[in-house]
Amino acid sequence: MRTSTRSQHPSVRTTPFALVPVTATIGSSGSTPDILRCPPYRVRHVCDKSARRNPFSGPLWTNLTFSTGFGDVSQWLFLFSTPPCTIEAMITKFGAILATLLLCVGIWTTATSPALTTVEPHTPARVHRLPVATIPPNTDPAPYVLRPAEIPNENWKKGHRGVDIKAQPGDVVVASAAGTIAFAGVVAGTPTVSVDHRSRVRTTYEPVVAKVRVGQKVRRGDPIGVLVDASRLPSTARRDPGLSWGAKIPQGFSRKGRTQWRYIDPLQLVGAVVVRLIPLGAGASAGSASGLVAGLGTPREGALD
C-alpha cells in the first residue's frame, strides 16, 4: 500500500491526529525510523484502491506502540485510524460516531436524571383531634361536620379535598396533632397554614391567618391561627363557611425531586371513641353511680405523636 507523508519518513503510518515526538513502531513487522532528531510533525496516509472501492475494507484498528524512556504505552485508535476516502465512507463513519455519542449521552442522562420514586403506602396513626379550640378534644366529630370530604381517585379530578368543620370567624384554630409548621401564607387569595407531622402526614387549615412561623414546632392543641371571614376574601379564595381541614400523604417524588401528594379524608386521623372501665371504688368515691366512662383513644393535649 502506498503512503505519503509530509516528512522524510514515508514508512510511518498513523492517523491525521497523531503527533509523533519520539520513535514509533508500527505493527509487528513495520520499520522503526529514527525520528528522535526530528521535530514533532503531523503525518497522514492515503487510502489504497481497495479502500476506494469498498469503504468498509480498510483497517479499523491500528496498534501504535510509542517507545519512551518511561516504558511502552499502547494506544488503540478506533474509527479515526482510516480516514474516509469517499463520500459514502465519510457519511458512514461520521454517522456511526454521531450515533455512538448520542447513545452515550442518552445513557448518561438516564443514569443521572432522578426517576419517579414511589413511597410505600402507610396507615397514619389516629392521634389527631378536631382543629377548633371551641370544640373539646375527645369529641365525636360527626356533629361538627358541615361538608364531608370527597377525595377523587386522581388529584386532577373534581372533588372536595378536605372536610368543612363548623366554626365561626374569629375562632382559634389549633394543631390537630404535634408537628412542624411547613407553610404559613396565602394561596390563591386564601390564608393557609400547613403542618407536617411525624407520621408523614401534612394537614392544612383554611382560611386561617397564621399566628406561627415556618419551622416552628407545635404540639397537639397549640394555637396556630385565627379563622377569618371567608365572605371578605377575594373571589379567587375559598368562600365556603367554616374551617376547611385537609390532609395528604406523600406517594412519591417527581423527576425534579418534588414530593407528590395524595389527599386523604382527615377524619381518618381522628381517634375512635372507646369505652373504658374505671374501678367501682374510684367511681363511688367521686359520687358516681356508674363505673362506665366514655372517652377517646387519643393522646392527651400537648403530647407528641
The model's pLDDT over 58-98, given as tens digits with 9 standing for 90+, comes to 444 344 444 444 444 444 344 445 555 566 666 776 777 78
Domain 142-270 has CATH 2.70.70.10: yes
User: Which H helix or E strand runs over 7?
Assistant: none
pLDDT band at 2, cuts 50/70/90? low
Kindly report, as residue ranges, where domains of CATH 2.70.70.10 are found in the chain: 142-270
Find the angle CA(18)-CA(19)-CA(20) to the nearest 5 degrees. Answer: 110
Q: Which of 30, 25, 126 is nearest to 68 (CA)?
A: 25
Entry pTM = 0.52
* Cα 250 to Cα 144: distance, rounded to the nearest angstrom: 28
The model's pLDDT over 114-169, given as tens digits with 9 standing for 90+, comes to 444 444 445 566 789 999 999 998 888 989 999 998 888 777 777 788 999 999 99
pLDDT at 184 over 80: yes
The model's pLDDT over 34-68, given as tens digits with 9 standing for 90+, comes to 444 444 444 444 444 444 444 444 444 344 444 44
Q: Which of 42, 3, 37 is nearest to 20 (CA)?
A: 42
pLDDT band at 290, cuts 50/70/90? very low
Pair 250, 261: CB distance under 8 Å: yes
Find the angle CA(217)-CA(220)-CA(223) to the nearest 5 degrees. Answer: 70
